[in-house]
Each structure stands twice: as C-alpha cells, then as structure tokens.
C-alpha cells in the first residue's frame, strides 16, 4: 500500500524542497540529503510505487524504458560513465528501505566500498 505522506511524495508535490539534478515528464533526480559518497543522487519515477517490483508491475514498458534512460542521462550529465558508479535500490525491510517510494541511488565520485 502506497503511503501518500512519504517524503518523496512530498518532494514530488513540492511540499518540501529538494536539490534537483534533473527532471523530466516522468522522473525526478535530486541529491541525497545524507550522501554516502562524493556523488549521491536519487532517482524516482513521478507516479506512486513503493519498490522496484511495484514499479515494474505498475509502469508500462515505455515508462520503464524512459525511467532507466533518464538514469543514463543523469550519468552522462554528471560525467561519471567512465570513472564508474554504483546503482542501488533497497527494497522492503530486509533490503533496508527507509522511504517507501521506489528510488535508485546513484553513487559515484570516489571508490565505493564493498557492500558489507
Ligand atoms: P533508502 O534507505 O533506500 O530508502 O534510502 C532513502 C534515502 O533517502 C536515504 O539515503 C536518505 O538520506 C534520503 N533522503 C531522506 N530524506 C531526504 C530528503 N528530504 N531529500 C533527499 N534525500 C533524502
């Protein structure tokens, strides 16, 4: 069940600000408020979906493609394709997800440590 009061829903409704990196019709990218690397951008689709799995269930193929192409556009714009990056999406309790609106973390700008 999607919670309309989650923090990313509030950002999408412009009730709270964000440090925007990129926006298009379908997605919004902004800097993480508590960065875990020199570059830490979050990317979210603009429609209500809780997790990666929920996103894939609810979005049509065009929207799924558009979202991931926007991820690549941001990677291009911030010039990290050749130095490298890590994409993460946390899902649910075991995945350690804190905000229940599907999002992708883009971590870059330095060597990202091992996962554990
Ligand atoms: P997750 O644990 O995958 O759900 O990640 C949620 C992320 O959202 C964390 O990295 C937080 O630092 C980040 N976050 C929470 N509130 C905000 C906010 N208002 N603006 C930007 N990032 C936020």
Q: What is the pLDDT of residues 78-97, one digit of tens each?
A: 999 999 999 999 999 999 99
Q: Which residue's alpha carbon is nearest to atom 18 within ligand 1?
A: 33
Tell me if 51 sits within 8 A of 91, measured CB to CB.
yes
Q: Which residues are the active-site residues?
A: 103
Residue of 100, 34, 41 lying closest to 70 (CA atoms): 41
- Which atom from ligand 1 is nearest to the alpha carbon of 40? 10
Distance, CA 99 to ligand 1 centroid (Å)? Answer: 7
Q: What is the Cα–Cα distance from 73 to 68, expressed in whole angstroms?
A: 9
Distance 34 CA to ligand 1 centre (A): 7
All structural domains of the chain? 7-97 (3.30.428.10)
Three-class SS of 78-89: CCCCCCCEEEEC
Query: Which pTM was predicted?
Result: 0.97
| Ligand 1 proximal residues by C-beta, below 6 Å | 7, 18, 30, 32-34, 42, 90, 96-99
76 confidence band (pLDDT: 50, 70, 90): very high
pLDDT at 116 over 90: no
Residue 41 confidence (pLDDT) above 80 = yes
| Residue 48 neighbours by CB under 8 Å, 6+ apart | 2, 4, 9, 58, 101
């Amino acid at each position: 069940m999607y919670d309309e009061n989650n923090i990313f829903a509030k950002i999408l409704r412009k009730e709270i600000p964000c440090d925007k990196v990129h926006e298009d019709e379908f997605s919004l990218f902004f800097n993480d408020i508590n960065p875990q690397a020199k570059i830490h951008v979050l990317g979210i689709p603009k429609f209500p979906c809780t997790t990666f799995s929920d996103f894939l269930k609810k979005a049509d193929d065009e929207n799924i493609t558009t979202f991931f192409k926007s991820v690549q556009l941001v990677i291009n714009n911030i010039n990290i394709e050749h130095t490298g990056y890590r994409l993460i999406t946390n899902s649910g309790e075991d995945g350690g997800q804190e905000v229940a609106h599907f999002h992708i973390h883009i971590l870059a700008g330095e060597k990202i440590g091992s996962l554990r």
